[in-house]
Amino acid sequence: MERRFLTLGIESSCDDTAVSILDGQRDVKADLISSQIKDHAPFGGVVPEFASRKHLEAILPLVDRALENAGVSDPAQELSLIGVTAGPGLMGSLLVGVMTAKALAQTWHIPILGVNHLEGHLFANVVASPDLEPPFICLIVSGGHTEIILVEDFGNYSLLGATRDDAAGEAYDKVAKLLGLGYPGGPIIDSLAHKGNSEAFSFPVPLRSSDEIAFSFSGLKTAVLWAVKDLKEKSVDLPIADLCASFQKAAVEALMTKVERAVEVTGIRKVAISGGVAANRGLRNALQRKKDWNVFIPPAIRCTDNGVMIAAAAYNGYKRGLISDLFLTPNPSWPLV
């Protein structure tokens, strides 16, 4: 019987501590996440130093539970690889994950591989879709990133376009804060948008008329700000659902317009999305309406930061001949391309 190839995946780039164990490329044996949303919600966003302390509290118990859930009693003999997010992200948070991974790798005498967080998001689709093979286009869209990547082969990536200012998820959070909806804003706005009239406000779709593959969300965010100010000056109750629906319509159109442009430029009609905003129903629905594309949308649980995507990227990278050593150091600004 062939020995299993078990990869321990560790993700701690921001405010979620995630640990998984993957057998091969897609067989999930354990998948655990410790969320800090409730801890950071009172501050309206992630507090970096607080996040790193919460990672310290959560990470080793999660590793123990993951091993138990996967039926691993002797990690030194049964695990084949440790994959860990080494960037981009918050330095303090990354350090907790990387140092933990290095300590375990040294203790158990097994290989370690530092994974780019964005490549991890890309591999969330690979785990979910066995028939997803390069070449394809991937829209990575989250609270910190909005970019379109051409995946010519695994490990061979080209940047087709990125945001000039705010990431899409960041814009969602800022608009939610403006409307007094709480944190994180994306899921709240998405939920309210489906109850509102998306034609109530005519918000601009950034860079819609440009052939450039690029994003900008600061102007859209400002347009919502001025609409709210105008309503308040008129002593009108804010139509929250309509504002959310109109904002989401413009944001989704901004994303879709540039994905359409990427398809036009490359001729590739195989399109994947990943990252936290990939869970947005408005964006998912817009992609599913593209009947002439082959669209890959991961389940919502694979959109947010998770250990499975890191283990999957690490496994694939290791099979391509990549390996790190115990001098592995986090890089908070590590670009995928």
Rounded CA-CA distance 274/120 in Å is 9
Please determine, for residue 3, whether its predicted confidence score (pLDDT) is greater than 80.
Answer: no
- CA atoms of 271 and 102, how far apart (whole Å): 35
pLDDT (tens digit per residue) in 22-59: 999 999 999 999 988 888 888 888 888 888 999 999 99
For residue 79, name the pLDDT band (cuts at 50, 70, 90).
very high
Q: What is the pLDDT of residues 149-188, one digit of tens each?
A: 999 999 999 999 999 999 999 999 999 999 999 888 999 9
pLDDT greater than 80 at residue 1: no
End-to-end CA distance of the chain: 39
> If you search the block for the tokens 């005498």, which residue do you land on?
109
Alpha helix stretches (DSSP H) within 129-217: 168-178, 185-193
Enumerate the β-bridge partners of residue 115.
85
Here the tokens at position 310 are 């890191």
Q: What confidence tens digit (pLDDT) does each residue in 258-290 have?
A: 999 999 999 999 999 999 999 999 999 999 999
